[in-house]
């Protein structure tokens, strides 16, 4: 399966369904050149090459377009010292693969011959950008500077996390994992403000690292095991519950979490532990396909009504989402509402209650009938293992605004068709879409589908 773990749909939605789309705003210093032409120009002018690798859905990328790249001093440096490019990593996949780009934004400083000198991952302010840029001029990499700074900030988890990210970007994965794990294990005890970052941005960094450095999975599994051991022996706390749930999601072991929960409930867990599990129960049951437990709750209809109200509230656009606390909270509530409503739909389909599934779909679409919602419904039914023609129709409807080329929706559609036994049709749709698109990322995803369907 080639989609992101939908447990983290709230984060993904902030960059898709909830945030108003924007064109990537290139500053005056950026040039429309191929990479080879940029190398030739940089070699002749004896300048660095600077590349901003972005994606269209990346919130921090848009923030840099708004705050960092338009800065007069940043523009001056880029114009005078570099041949500057902005590259959509999901369109120029070959170049992104060449430089191992797996997080966004990634900012590359290259030598005139195109070899890498330094990189930065994530959002940076104009002042931070210039600090890196001036270091490049002096022949100093970000790793060199960070190693020096670590001496005075060894117990600052934010500093160490930035250092770990830089190490990962340079391919020093083992040392990067060591630093990230220190942040996970000791960050909160050294900075109480780090708790939210630990369970969001740090987790995302570990997810990215796990794709290229398999020992990351074992390290996370070990920590999930430690949390489970503490809980089973009666020594666990709310933090251990949160870690157990989060880590088992990351290592794709959600049923292990609910097994621990069942054992603790059977053994008479403390009120504190019961309360700690409560916010996680819905997603735990959905992940374990315990659909009957989900739909049996007396609060289902009440919760659905509240989530529909939350879904109906829309932020005013990307600038508000990233600058206004109220808009951020609104966007998060809407993302959570979408996730919960899709979970209910999955549960209704999973228990075979087609009437309640259809009723819920109608209510959701009455609030917001957009491709993301339609695709979410079809994908949720696919996850239940019981998709029907209704879900084919949802995916087909979701495809229309993109003239049939949205790869995310195509991925859903062909998998639904395959699940229904219409594999030949799914293969045909994949091959037709591959032939029509120039988007390398889309081709890669659809070829993965073909592989899963036993075709080439």
What are the catalytic residues? 58, 61
The tokens describing 112, both together, are 């005139």
The tokens describing 363, both together, are 């209510």
Nearest partner of 82 among 94, 93, 69, 100, judged by Cα: 69
- Asked if 163 and 179 count as a contact pair (C-beta separation under 8 A), the reply is yes
| Beta strand 48-54 pairing with 82-88 | parallel
Nearest partner of 409 among 369, 450, 453, 374, judged by Cα: 374
Q: What is the sign of the dihedral through the CA atoms of 296, 302, 305 and 311?
A: negative
**Intra-chain end-to-end CA distance of the chain, in Å:** 16
Helix axis angle, 371-384 relative to 325-350, nearest 10°?
40
The tokens describing 37, both together, are 């032409």
Contacts of 297 (CB under 8 A, 6+ apart): 303
User: What CA–CA distance (Å, rounded) separates 107 from 33?
Assistant: 17
204 DSSP β-pair partners: none
Nearest partner of 122 among 90, 85, 164, judged by Cα: 164
C-alpha R_g of the chain: 24
User: What CA–CA distance (Å, rounded) separates 37 from 28?
Assistant: 18
User: What CA–CA distance (Å, rounded) separates 163 from 169?
Assistant: 10
> Residue 71 burial by CB count (10 A; 0-12/13-18/19+): exposed, middle or buried?
middle
Contacts of 403 (CB under 8 A, 6+ apart): none
């Amino acid at each position: 399966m080639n989609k992101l773990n939908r447990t983290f749909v709230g984060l993904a939605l902030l960059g898709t369904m909830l945030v108003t789309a924007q064109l990537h705003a290139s500053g005056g210093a950026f040039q429309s050149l191929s990479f080879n032409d940029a190398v030739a120009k940089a070699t002749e002018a004896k300048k660095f090459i600077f590349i901003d690798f972005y994606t269209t859905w990346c919130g921090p990328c848009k923030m840099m377009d708004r705050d960092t790249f338009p800065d007069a001093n940043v523009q001056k440096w880029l114009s005078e010292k570099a041949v500057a490019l902005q590259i959509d990593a999901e369109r120029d996949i070959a170049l992104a693969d060449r430089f191992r780009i797996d997080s966004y934004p990634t900012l590359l400083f290259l030598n005139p011959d195109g070899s890498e000198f330094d990189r930065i991952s994530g959002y940076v302010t104009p002042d931070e950008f210039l600090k890196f840029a001036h270091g490049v001029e002096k022949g100093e990499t970000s790793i060199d500077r960070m190693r020096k700074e670590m001496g005075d900030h060894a117990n600052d988890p934010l500093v160490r996390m930035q250092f770990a990210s830089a190490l990962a970007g340079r391919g020093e994965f083992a040392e990067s994992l060591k630093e990230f794990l220190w942040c996970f294990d000791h960050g909160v005890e050294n900075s109480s403000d780090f708790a939210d970052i630990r369970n969001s941005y740090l987790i995302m960094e570990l997810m990215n690292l796990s794709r290229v450095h398999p020992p990351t999975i074992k390290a996370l599994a070990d920590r999930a095991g430690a949390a489970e051991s503490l809980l089973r022996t009666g020594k666990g706390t709310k933090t251990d519950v949160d870690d157990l749930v989060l880590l088992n999601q990351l290592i794709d072991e959600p049923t292990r979490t609910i097994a621990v929960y069942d054992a603790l409930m059977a053994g008479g867990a403390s009120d504190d532990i019961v309360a700690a599990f409560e916010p996680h129960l819905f997603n735990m049951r959905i992940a374990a396909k315990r659909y009957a437990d989900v739909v049996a709750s007396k609060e289902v209809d009440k919760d659905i009504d509240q989530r529909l109200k939350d879904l109906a509230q829309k932020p005013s656009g990307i600038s508000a989402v990233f600058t206004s606390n109220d808009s951020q909270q609104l966007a998060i509530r809407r993302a959570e509402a979408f996730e919960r409503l899709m979970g209910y739909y999955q549960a209704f389909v999973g228990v075979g209650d087609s009437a309640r599934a259809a009723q819920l779909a109608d209510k959701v679409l009455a609030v917001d009938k957009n491709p993301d919602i339609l695709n979410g419904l079809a994908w949720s039914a696919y996850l239940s293992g019981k998709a029907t023609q209704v879900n084919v129709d949802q995916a087909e409807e979701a495809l229309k605004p993109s003239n049939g080329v949205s790869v995310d929706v195509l991925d859903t559609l062909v998998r639904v068709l395959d699940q229904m036994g219409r594999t030949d049709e799914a293969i045909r749709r994949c091959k037709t879409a591959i032939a029509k698109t120039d988007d390398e990322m889309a081709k890669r995803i659809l070829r993965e589908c073909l592989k899963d369907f036993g075709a080439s």
